[in-house]
Structure 1
């Protein structure tokens, strides 16, 4: 399997897996607010500091985003492109958001697929403070209790990354059993999540999240050669001890790719952030 050598010493702990409770939510996003403020504010009004949201159908203007790029020096294994700034309203087709805390302030990490005024589909990493909700919108989300995503400096990758960490309060009250997970580089994302779910009693779960992969192999034999990609899980599930992840992603040329990941063939590039929620019924 592909392997990327990052600039710092590999961390001994290769994933953080924190049992928690996930609460289904509907969030009202306010026009005129940054995407960061709109999502984290709506979560806070519902009583949560961390969680996951889908931004499907949200209109954004201005929209600012980046795609993965080669690192300019050896201080990182990958970096970001110059900022893309499409004119007019951009319609998010689908996007995933992990919400948490960075530098003691609410912060989101968002990857998705969108269409600009020209109608072309593009994908990447949305810049949350520079992109603004153009019209009031209602989106689905999960708030989590008993865990939080907190950004920490990471010596291995030389990035500040979300880490899933346990927090006190509310983990036994309502909601569904869930796991907040953050995954370090080079392990296969499907196999890691299978082990996490199995070890924590989630035999049947829906899996939500975003991250980066070092090249991508799909079950239909398509291959994306970019050593850095920006990925969202569009449909993930743990069923009968096997993890199936349908994803959408941007490669280093900005092309959009979609499909089901081949198990055992897709190593994490920099990080992956996941919320696995026990399936109801």
Structure 2
């Protein structure tokens, strides 16, 4: 059941509804040092990797002092959704986390959704603020570097937000991947299935984060909230006998958690969804 009608954004629909840049993705391994600010440390990784963009996993990362926000209702008519007040904690350990790395005003920037354990708060989930997160212990991580285009923070008239949108930087002769952002009301599962076929990626690995207008799961109770923050889990892929396999974790404004495999054609995007598809 689509809940797309529950969200209306203040501006006219932007075109295209799917922003796609093809390029080359390769595995990326990296090290982060204890005591560093997350954004500063990732910027150093990106400079050393000499790539255009990246998507990295942060599973198991230990945090020192950190700040985060959760999804929330908008306080006015300027946006259809907004963020909670800023929360903070002295330490935590990420269970699972994904960061999209691109540019904002020419400088490295990242967008990170994660699930973690906080000794004081218990289990938490939300949007980590990269300039307000300190790395608590040395960390070895992995992900994908991407060349041919970058995620670039772009103003969006439809939602009145600025967020990552793929921007092409150069043509690559041989490509094996694409960076993608989806506009509001695009069905996530449908978009992944169609892009996998259109881009001839076979059964691609899909790594991404964003927000959804509710969600139905094959194997778990539904999320009814039209406002959320979402993280695709390890193993997500774009094509299979029954369509895309999209294990997902969601948090709603009340702090409720939902985890399961998305049911096709029931998962419209709320504000945006950012993804990397790598040929399988």
The alignment's TM-score, normalised by the length of structure 1, stands at 0.94
Determine the C-alpha separation between the residues in 1 that align with 2:238 and 2:230: 18
Structure 2 matches for 1:90-239, cutoff 5 A? 90-118=92-120, 120-168=122-170, 171-172=172-173, 177-220=176-219, 222-235=221-234, 236-239=236-239
Structure 1: runs of 5+ lacking an equivalent: none
CA offset digits 1:97-154 (Å, max 9, x no partner): 1000012210000001000113721100001111111111011110100121001100
Identify which of 33, 37, 40 aligns with 2:40: 37
Q: CA deviation at 1:239?
A: 2.8
Report the equivalent of 1:267: 268
Report the equivalent of 2:245: 244
Report if aligned partners of 2:56, 2:142 keep a CA contact under 8 Å in 1: yes
Q: Once structures 1 and 2 are overlaid, which stretch shifts more, 101-110 or 241-250?
A: 241-250
Determine the C-alpha separation between the residues in 2 that align with 1:221 and 1:119: 25
Determine the C-alpha separation between the residues in 2 that align with 1:222 and 1:257: 7
Which consecutive aligned stretches of 4+ in structure 1 deviate over 3 angstroms post-superposition? none
The alignment's TM-score, normalised by the length of structure 2, stands at 0.94
Report the equivalent of 1:25: 28
Structure 2 matches for 1:29-68, cutoff 5 A? 29-68=32-71
CA offset digits 1:63-92 (Å, max 9, x no partner): 111110000000000000011112x32101
Report if aligned partners of 1:64, 1:130 keep a CA contact under 8 Å in 2: yes
Report if aligned partners of 1:123, 1:255 keep a CA contact under 8 Å in 2: no
Determine the C-alpha separation between the residues in 2 that align with 1:248 and 1:198: 25
Q: Once structures 1 and 2 are overlaid, which stretch shifts more, 114-123 or 95-104?
A: 114-123
Aligned to 2:219, what secondary structure does the other structure show? coil
Q: CA deviation at 1:43?
A: 2.2
Structure 2: runs of 5+ lacking an equivalent: none
Determine the C-alpha separation between the residues in 2 that align with 1:230 and 1:37: 24
Determine the C-alpha separation between the residues in 2 that align with 1:49 and 1:168: 10
Report the equivalent of 1:73: 76
CA offset digits 1:184-213 (Å, max 9, x no partner): 000110101111111110121100010000
